[in-house]
Amino acid sequence: DAGVTQSPTHLIKTRGQHVTLRCSPISGHKSVSWYQQVLGQGPQFIFQYYEKEERGRGNFPDRFSARQFPNYSSELNVNALLLGDSALYLCASSPRAWEGNTIYFGEGSWLTVV
Partner 1 sequence: KNQVEQSPQSLIILEGKNCTLQCNYTVSPFSNLRWYKQDTGRGPVSLTIMTFSENTKSNGRYTATLDADTKQSSLHITASQLSDSASYICVVPGGSQGNLIFGKGTKLSVKP
Site of interaction with partner 1 (CB under 8 A): 4, 31, 33, 35, 40-45, 47-48, 50, 55-58, 88, 90, 97-100, 102-108, 110
- For residue 28, the minimal CB distance to partner 1 (Å) is 17
Nearer of residues 16 and 54 to partner 1, judged by Cβ: 54
Closest distance between partner 1 and the C-beta of residue 36, in Å? 11
DSSP collapsed to 3 states, 22-43: EEECCCCCCEEEEEEECCCCCC
CB of 105 to partner 1, least distance (A): 4
Quick one: 17 or 101, whose CB is closer to partner 1?
101
DSSP state of 59: S
35 neighbors 44 (Cβ within 8 angstroms):
yes
Nearer to partner 1, 69 or 80 (CB): 69
User: Quick check: 103 and 4 in contact, CB under 8 A?
Assistant: no
